Amino acid sequence: SPFCSPARLLPGLFGRSAMPGQTQLLRALRAPARRSAGLAGRTQLREATCRQRASAAARAHLARRFATAAFETSRAASRGHTLWWRAAAGTGVAGASGAIWWYLHLGREAAAAEVEEPELEPMPEPLAFVHPYEEWPWYRRAWFAVKRSVFLAWVFAPFMCASGIILVLPESARWREYWLEQMLQCTQRAGAAFQKFGQWLSMRPDMFPPDVIEVLGKLRSDAPSHPVEVSRRTLREQLGRDVDELFDVFEEQPVASGSVGQVHRARLRPEFALDGPGGQLRDVAVKVQHPGVADSAFMDLSIVWKVVEFSEKFLHMTMPFNRGEFDEVIRQQMDFTREAFNLQRFSRNFRGERRIRFPKVSRKFATPEVLVETWADGKVISNILEDFDNAKASCKEALSSLGHRKREMQSSLCSILYDMSMKMMVRDNFVHGDLHGGNILYSEAHNHVTVLDAGIATSLDRQTFAPFGRFLHALCSGHTDHIVEYLQRFNQSAIKVNMPELKKDIQATMDKFMGPLRKNPDEPINAADMFGEVMFSMQKHRMLLKGDVASTLFTISISEGLIRQLDPTFDVAKRAIPYIVQHMSKPQAGAEEA
């Protein structure tokens, strides 16, 4: 037993040995004390064992309760005899020490079990998404197109009016603020396709002013939600059961809402646990698709591309990938079984990683419009940074300690995110396509991140993997000739490119970020801005990147931007070179270079 008996403590409490009378009393004290403490210990340990995913705060709370219970038990056993308070105290201290030792020992086992969670049945890769719109008769499609066009004209009318005023009064700060507000509100009301398009625009600081980028960035997290009655109806239609049949608890207020769906927190009934009847995976997040998203998104894609054609003609702005690829990204997000498949693949890729987690999903709770996944504790990274900034503004006297805590957290987060991004790209060739701060939860207690919303994932084809690695190496090293060579190789546009002019523009970009024109040579390279200028040069020369290359570059830019937001001194470009050389300098297994 880890509990020390009172007699063993007597030499330290009463001298080298106990007197006979003392020993007799101690025997009477020891039996009930140890039985009570042992019973309390076993009860508490059963609780601890059942909580494999308990937070550090909860474990510490249980340990304190356990220690207090042991102490109070031994003190009660000695009540009525003032001479033995020291023996009782000794029993309490020893029992508490043993209890804490035993609890922490099991806590380590629980932490190991936390990484080795039960494996759920793997999902097959979903078939290509076929929209019902394509099977409608022509008259139904025509009627839907008319209705949708009228609706969108009504939605964007305030924004168009504000745009006209801005053209007349470009210097008015008040009207510009109103214009930005209408841009956000109209895009939110317009639906998933426009919101996704706005999210893409928010990642192009090379094309738009900072205030526009900031407003469009809110589309990642500030999407409107639908009524809970819609969620209940969708769950019944998709899963075949009412909410009350499936869940012990179902929170009606959504915890988050995005462009495609919203998330409710819930607790499954024991018989419906994700890992089987009576299983442990019962605390879940229930993702429900917004009504009409699939129908409106398909029609809206055509309208979005009309906007792109207008932009190309009058604003000289081009999309960095073709229409088919963008449409495919939108369609993938319309089918939640694709997200479930991606989550399982990411979980396999990062199996055993203590600092990187992905929610677990079950085939029986994954449908095109509903996805039930394990609940993840933590706080959205973007909110963590905002909380620190708000606290700094209101608690100036605590700036020193708060700043130190923030730096520690930022350093830990940067390390985790960088490690994850590089492994996704150079080790697995399977990259989360929407890795912004709103899709990452951080648990400070456990020092790990949980990555959400894996509906979009990008991979390079086998023939592109090694050339793309050399292209990245050239970008991070500033080799203009190699950059131009691979840009030409990845270009899919039929328009002839003026290569000397392209090389001149790329050289100017390299000089600005890595050469003699660099403003602060001691600071890290801003890879996201550098990639943006390279993309701007491609746009200028009417080049069109291969879809997988463009998507991967954007993903790298998003990750790099998030890491730099956490720690501006973190040099992603310099640290990436060894990874690229090791993993991407040769084709993947079974691949042949194009």
- Each domain of the chain, given as residue ranges in start order, spans 6-115, 132-223+297-328, 378-594
Does position 430 have pLDDT exceeding 50, yes or no?
yes
**Burial call 88-123: b when 16+ CB within 10 Å, e when fewer:** bbbbbbbbbebbbebbeeebeebbeebeebeebeeb
More confident residue, 544 or 31: 544
pLDDT tens column, 336-365: 999 999 999 999 999 988 899 999 999 999
Mean pLDDT calculated for residue range 548-554: 79
Rounded distance between C-alpha atoms, residue 216 and residue 429, angstroms: 29
Q: Beta-carbon neighbour count of residue 176 at 10 Å?
A: 18
Contact 382, 443 (CB under 8 A): no
Rounded distance between C-alpha atoms, residue 257 and residue 289, angstroms: 10
pLDDT tens column, 178-209: 999 999 999 988 888 888 778 777 766 656 78
Among 223-227, 371-375, 565-569, the range scoring the smallest mean pLDDT is 565-569
Q: Which backbone phi and psi does 128 adopt, to 5 degrees? A: -60, 140
Contact 369, 344 (CB under 8 A): no
pLDDT of residue 178: 95
Contact 588, 430 (CB under 8 A): no
pLDDT of residue 204: 60
pLDDT tens column, 482-527: 999 999 999 888 888 899 999 999 999 998 888 766 667 667 777 7
Structure tokens at 471: 């292209």
pLDDT of residue 541: 86
Three-class secondary structure assignment of 457-516 = EECCCHHHHHHHHHHHHHHHHCCHHHHHHHHHHHECCCCCCCHHHHHHHHHHHHHHHHCC
Of the candidates 544, 527, 122, the residue with the CA atom closest to the CA atom of residue 341: 122
Rounded distance between C-alpha atoms, residue 172 and residue 160, angstroms: 17
Does position 18 have pLDDT exceeding 50, yes or no?
no
Contact 466, 593 (CB under 8 A): yes
Rounded distance between C-alpha atoms, residue 312 and residue 495, angstroms: 14
CA distances from 437 to 33, 449, 558 (A): 53, 11, 9
Q: Report the range out of 34-43, 105-114, 123-132 with the highest average pLDDT.
A: 123-132
Does position 397 have pLDDT exceeding 70, yes or no?
no
Residues 53/56/57/60 CA torsion (nearest 10 deg): 110
pLDDT of residue 116: 55
**CA end-to-end span of the chain:** 67
Q: What mean pLDDT, rounded, does the chain reach?
A: 75
Query: Among all chains, which residue has been given the structure tokens 């150079």?
Result: 426
